[in-house]
A and B are shown apart, each in its own frame.
Chain A
């Protein structure tokens, strides 16, 4: 078992100082649902860690609030808290949906949004949603504060722009404009404790006459870095939403996925599946009925 020093931070200040001292060899421990699993598995990415700074008691980093049209989530906010938040359910329902499907009740009670973000798994459930919300990450270090869009913060599978000595303290996004509708669909091998095989986050706003004014499409577990697929979005923007257009956008998104990732063992499956999920999510967000949303019974 990996051996490391352990510090339990009693204040943000103390956490930042410890992280700063530890430099590259230090990391934060929030809920531990990724980190401790990684240590146990002797994950090569953690081999250099000599100091673990437990920030789990910093309750000041667990909050959900709205200020001037900006929704802010403290880094230690758990998936359970987000899923249950009435603010999130109204302002960004797909984020609540995504969090409600993470792991199991135990994992949702411990796992945090900051941890989900910093672990940067390609299958992380909140990432596509946060990118679709154009969320920003707030980073603090002894040197001060900086903000980076989530889409830039995540640099690759399990790679972020977190610098030594830094802590994510908050994730924030502008509350989507009134009339925005969202949808998140996760596809797994079972109904709980399931890593996403694929997911899709959609934010859509239609204006007068049902014309799509805003559309953001972000697939999960499909790209090395969660990102909007603008080529697919363009098919819809400025158009009246129809089943046919949603289908086209889904297919385009699948093509883009292949263009970016190339052919992999799973591509023959992922192409038709992500196309269908995307179509469904667009139509659900747009309030249009899709054949697939109805079951036979």
Chain B
């Protein structure tokens, strides 16, 4: 291959390292105003009165709006642009202003008088589920998030437990976690003075989703709203609802004032109003025979959705599919559902439930192994999915490679797992306060959206007369490198140098809605659309080239900008010449490739069906040193192997793995949004700790390739798998080192030392 499978530099590297890339906050327009939002100090309160009259008099203020002034208070989902009479969490906004400079906007916010009547709230999963609990949303009886319940019923768990020799029951917990992208949310909404439409530039992960919010806020047609994505400083699933709300508000103020309106969140504002990783309460019962064959698996997985939620409905489906891990288990009963509380809302975050679910389920596997007196790897070997296995959702894996064991064995070997395990066990027995441990976790993950929603998307390839090629996708480059991988796929297919391909950022008015850039589908699904479009274009160009070379199109091949006859490479024409020939004849070399989603039947009451067309497999081994006198955990080494199908760009793929390891490490050891009665106590990075460069372990990424039948050039998903089993592996390593298990994340100083949570009150 010429371009694919090579670690070519990112197409956006130069603009980024030279500081020329424009993030949304870098944009300035003549006459631009600055918008700010007033948020509730209470997690739950009735708004008795809002008086904005003094704020309107602050010099430089152009508009001060409350819910009463809006075309629509509610977004296309239930989130509020501005709350009308009740606030349900501390991120709810009650008023907004636009002024000539940020200081005037600030001052105006301070001049707004709001009288609240504080109300009691529900702040934990337990409180939400208590009979007679306060109802956070009228439309969610029992505080169960609408449509969030996803069951799996397979075999008969009662019988399975009856045939088990060892049964254990466990509960695990994970907290709210912040995405911690380096760029806080920003947007500029620019009104069109003529036709009443708006163009919104923003740090958006999902432009089409944002467009729904903006159109709803303005009460206008989708076609009158144009969203242009700016260079994004990370998102990880975070810049979804919060960007919809921010862009909607900015657009309303822009239309109202007739001026461009810019909004940029401070880090604290970002913490308060942006989605978080859903906390989970993971309860399990698992039974196995003495020999280690798992007979039954029962789980109740409850996640905290917060005050609003537009994700648990989808995310919990993924959670139910992957709930039992990459194992073949005959009897399964799983229930996943989410609850509302008066805390910040849960949203999408890298892994979309898997990191939490795998933490619970892979901890459980280690605990089961211990109860069986069996090596944890042995237990996994006995139960791992194999070619021809049937998953817990009843999908028979006989049309694709099934690489759990291949990946696991390779990673264990590369990590020198068995020697180290033995050595550390021996040393632990000798005592001493600093102890080393090694632990592992394996996982599998359905590629793309699967049966969650239609995994359709488009790619546009447009060849210009000079042979340069514009590519457009409906999916976004969020910093993960999609622009580079798409450009590589197109360059490879057309046989041209990568430098000829020009990636253009998403603009909702120039590409059809291709769904969201989520579910690690950017390359897997988006890349396929690009490949389809490139193939269509190539077919036309080859027809033209065949005419010029007097041969048949099937005889042609192309590489490095030349189209030649395979049997006689001296018969050749340049790509540009062939292109000009086609254009001169009046052909169009602009083609849309569209991925049509496969049919994936799903029976909701039983959770049986074909969840995903294909799966990818991962194994992570972590080594730690625990200071048992202070609870400090140092992660020494992480070996992470992933069945990536094919790495379109091995350097970027390794980058995903490095980033995933560090993010997983934060989840394992230190990250937690601390809340007290719905108020976030650590809304900035002085108190919300994420790993620094000094905390990073030695990392060994392994890109294990296989023949995926679906993805472009056999590529599978990687972005989310790269982080999803890291926390589980680290916590298993800590348990190995100390002989004591932390069942509630993060495994911070206090929990590792004392075995329990200490919370500031």
Contact = CB atoms under 8 A, between A and B. Distances in A.
B46 interface: no
B58 to A, nearest CB: 14
A226 B738 CA distance: 33
B436 A272 contact: no
B749 A195 contact: no
Interface in A246-297: 265-266, 268-269, 272-273, 276-277, 291-292, 294-297
Given A190-B689, A273-B629, A296 B434 contact: yes
B749 A189 contact: yes
A276 B754 contact: no
A269 B632 CA distance: 12
Given A269-B753, A292-B627, A297 B436 contact: yes
Contact of A187 (B630, B687, B689): B630
Contact of B670 (A189, A291, A292, A297): A189
Contacts, number: 77
B694 interface: yes
Given A269-B749, A277-B630, A191 B760 contact: no
Given A191-B694, A296-B424, A269 B433 contact: no
A86 interface: no
Contact of A193 (B435, B692, B759): B692
A163 B252 CA distance: 51
Contacts of B427: 296
Contacts of A294: 432, 434
A197 interface: yes
Contact of A195 (B627, B686, B750): B686
Given A190-B692, A269-B758, A296-B432, A197 B627 contact: no
B196 to A, nearest CB: 35
B434 A268 contact: no
Given A193-B692, A197-B749, A295-B436, A268 B627 contact: no
Interface in A166-223: 187, 189-195, 197
A1 interface: yes
Interface band, chain A:
20 to 34
B433 A296 contact: no
Interface string A212-248: 0000000000000000000000000000000000000
Contacts of A104: 692
A110 B750 CA distance: 32
A193 B180 CA distance: 15
B689 A295 contact: no
Given A191-B694, A193-B692, A273 B631 contact: yes
B178 interface: no
Contacts of B432: 291-292, 294, 296
A189 B665 CA distance: 13
A165 B166 CA distance: 75
B162 to A, nearest CB: 43
A169 B116 CA distance: 49
The interface centre, meaning the residue of A265, A266, A272, A273 with most chain B CB atoms within 10 A of its CB, is A273
B761 interface: yes
Contact of A273 (B103, B106, B689, B749): B749
Nearest to A293: B434
A1 B103 contact: yes
Interface in B487-524: none
A193 B424 CA distance: 31
B435 A272 contact: no
Given A292-B433, A292-B629, A189 B758 contact: no
The interface centre, meaning the residue of B103, B670, B758, B759 with most chain A CB atoms within 10 A of its CB, is B758
Given A187-B632, A191-B695, A272-B629, A291 B433 contact: yes
B745 to A, nearest CB: 14
Contacts of B686: 193, 195
A272 B761 contact: no
The interface centre, meaning the residue of A187, A191, A195, A291 with most chain B CB atoms within 10 A of its CB, is A191
A43 B479 CA distance: 35
B732 interface: no
A271 B436 CA distance: 24
B106 A1 contact: yes
A273 to B, nearest CB: 5
Given A1-B103, A190-B670, A197-B749, A296 B436 contact: yes
Contacts of A193: 685-686, 692
B691 interface: yes
A273 B630 CA distance: 5
Contacts of B631: 269, 273
Interface in B734-757: 748-750, 753-754
Nearest to B686: A195
B695 A190 contact: yes
A295 B750 CA distance: 21
Contacts of A269: 631, 749-750, 753-754, 758
A137 B754 CA distance: 40
Nearest to B266: A40
Contact of B694 (A1, A192, A277): A192
B185 interface: no
The interface centre, meaning the residue of B630, B692, B694, B760 with most chain A CB atoms within 10 A of its CB, is B630
B204 to A, nearest CB: 27
Interface string B170-205: 000000000000000000000000000000000000
A173 to B, nearest CB: 29
A265 B761 contact: yes
Interface in B668-705: 670, 685-687, 689, 691-695
A297 B436 CA distance: 8
B625 interface: yes
Contacts of B424: 296
Given A191-B695, A296-B432, 6 more contacts: A193-B686, A265-B761, A269-B754, A273-B629, A295-B434, A297-B625
26 contacts: A1-B106, A187-B749, A189-B689, A189-B749, A190-B691, A191-B694, A192-B695, A194-B689, A197-B749, A265-B760, A266-B760, A268-B754, A269-B631, A269-B750, A272-B753, A273-B629, A273-B630, A276-B433, A292-B434, A292-B629, A294-B432, A295-B436, A296-B435, A296-B436, A297-B436, A297-B625
> Sorted from nearest, which 9 A-B pairs have the closest CB atoms?
A276-B629, A191-B694, A292-B433, A192-B692, A192-B694, A295-B434, A296-B427, A296-B436, A269-B750
